[in-house]
Amino acid sequence: MPVRGLSGVVAVAASGKHSCALTGDGAVWCWGWNLSGALGDGSNVDSPVPVRVAGLGGRAEALAAGWEHTCALLAGGAVRCWGWNESGQLGNASTSASNRPVPLQGLSDAVALSAGYMYTCALQADGSIWCWGDNYSGQLGNGRSGSGERSTVPVAVQGLGGVALAVEAGGHHTCAVVQAAQGVVAKCWGWNAFGQLGNGSTQSSSTPVLVR
């Protein structure tokens, strides 16, 4: 079934309760659940049809949808996020939800984004990865974990051991493709109760571990 009223779509992002689309003109449109402002249209009203994200402040080039928040990568490397922000997943040094895009603090040279349950990560042009939001299981990768270790601004992932080429956030864990001394490898960090880090254990890790 076609999504009503959209054309020229070049990318989509979907989460548990909402979906978003990027169109060729750099606009972002979202639909679905909106109690926390994840649609970004300045309201908190659910919408069964796409509504345009208001006040992006630039042309969007990529999207990432978390559980109840959304982020957009703008031309030039800036990031804007909106929606639920209980753990600081919008990255604006706050824990207040926003139904309009707010600027990410401290990063301006991002080339890719990925959003998890209550956190977000960005790949920088220099091959570093920065994450923000919930860190209960070490999914920010900064060597810390626990209920009091969330970050409302981006923190650098520690111990990548090379230049990151891609990043992907799961529910409570994160993985990256890394150009390391031994070649291109996969490394993961965060929650590992089911072996989702791929290192042969079920022990969580707050820093990257090599996928075997």
Dump pLDDT digits (tens) for 7-62: 999 999 999 899 999 999 999 999 999 999 999 999 999 999 999 999 999 999 99
Say whether both 29 and 89 belong to one domain: yes
pLDDT at 2: 82
Q: Is the pLDDT of residue 115 over 80?
A: yes
Residue 111 lies in a domain: no
Q: What is the mean pLDDT of the chain?
A: 97
Residue 14 lies in a domain: yes
- Average pLDDT on 178-207 reads 97
Residue 41 lies in a domain: yes
Residue 110 lies in a domain: no
Say whether both 171 and 201 belong to one domain: yes
Residue 151 lies in a domain: no
Residue 112 lies in a domain: no
Task: Identify the band that residue 70 occupies on the pLDDT scale cut at 50, 70 and 90.
Answer: very high
Say whether both 72 and 164 belong to one domain: no
Residue 168 lies in a domain: yes
Task: Kindly report the pTM of this predicted structure.
Answer: 0.96
CATH of the domain at 59: 2.130.10.30
Domain span at residue 30 reads 1-105
- Average pLDDT on 85-107 reads 98
Radius of gyration of the chain (CA): 17
Say whether both 45 and 134 belong to one domain: no
User: DSSP letters along 11-79, please?
Assistant: EEEE-SSEEEEEETTS-EEEEE--TTSTT-SS----EEEEEEPP---S-EEEEEE-SSEEEEEETTS-E
Say whether both 25 and 59 belong to one domain: yes
pLDDT of 129-148, one tens digit each? 999 999 999 999 999 999 89
Give the count of domains, the chain.
2
